[in-house]
Structure 1
Amino acid sequence: MIVVRSLLLFVLAALAEIGGAWLIWQGWRENRGLWWVAAGVIALGAYGFVATLQPEANFGRILAAYGGVFVAGSLAWGVLVDRFRPDRWDLIGAGICLAGVAIIMYAPRSAA
């Protein structure tokens, strides 16, 4: 159950961070206005709090593992929102990143 909770928190963090950055991009680069930028700033702030809900106690480990989720999530966001089509190298790279997430977060460790 702890792994499922952790994975759901990673997904929520990715939605907040990637979505927030996308909103800022839309507001600033696509001239949609400061309300989009403000919504993006709020979403990015929410991302910062989501990490604190992870059951793992080590900030560095959580952030390192989240990096892999961010990579894969960014490609998925691009596919779903911006109609981006990743090539095989994008997919292979994302798979490697997610393997890194699994190793960093969920590999068995000694209590020492």
Structure 2
Amino acid sequence: MLIARSIVLFAVAALFEIGGAWLIWQGWREHRGLWWIAAGVIALGAYGFVATFQPDANFGRILAAYGGVFVAGSLAWGMIVDKFRPDRYDIVGAVICLAGVAVIMYAPRSH
């Protein structure tokens, strides 16, 4: 149950962080305005809170693992929202990152 909760929290964190960065990009680079930027800042702030709900108490471990989720999530966001087509190297890299997440977060440890 803890692993499932952790995975859901990583997905929610990715939605907030990648979505927030995308909103800022749209507001600034695509000239959509300050409301888009403000929404992005709020989403990025929400991302920071989501990470605190991870069951593991180690900030460095959570953030390191989230880096792999961010890589894969960014490619998925690009595919869904911007119609980006990743090549095989993008996909292999994302799989490697997610394997790293699994090792960092879910490997058995003696405390």
Give CA-to-partner distance per residue, 1:33-73, whole Å, 9 cap, x none.
00000000000000000000000000000000000000000
Write the deviation string for residues 2-32 of structure 1: whole angstroms up to 9, x where unpaired. 0000000000000000000000000000000
Structure 2 CA distance, aligned partners of 1:61 and 1:33?
36
Provide the residue aligned with 1:52 in structure 2.
52
Distance 1:98 1:68 in 2: 6
Q: Which ranges of structure 1 fall in alignment gaps of 5 or more residues?
A: none
- 1:68 matched residue in structure 2: 68
Q: TM-score, normalised by structure 2?
A: 0.99
- CA distance in 2 between counterparts of 1:6 and 1:96 reads 19
What percentage of aligned pairs have identical amino acids?
Answer: 81
Amino acid at match of 2:63: L
Q: Which residue does the alignment assign to 2:96?
A: 96
Quick one: distance in 2 between partners of 1:41 and 1:2?
A: 29
**2:2 counterpart of 1:2:** yes
Q: CA deviation at 1:92?
A: 0.1
How far apart, in 1, do the equivalents of 2:57 and 2:41 lie? Answer: 26
Residue 110 of structure 1 and its aligned partner are, at CA, apart by 1.2
Structure 2: give runs of 5+ residues left out of the alignment. Answer: none
* RMSD, aligned α-carbons: 0.3
Structure 1 ranges of 4+ moved more than 3 A: none
Report the counterpart of residue 19 of structure 1 in structure 2. Answer: 19
Cα deviation code 1:50-105 (max 9, x no counterpart): 00000000000000000000000000000000000000000000000000000000
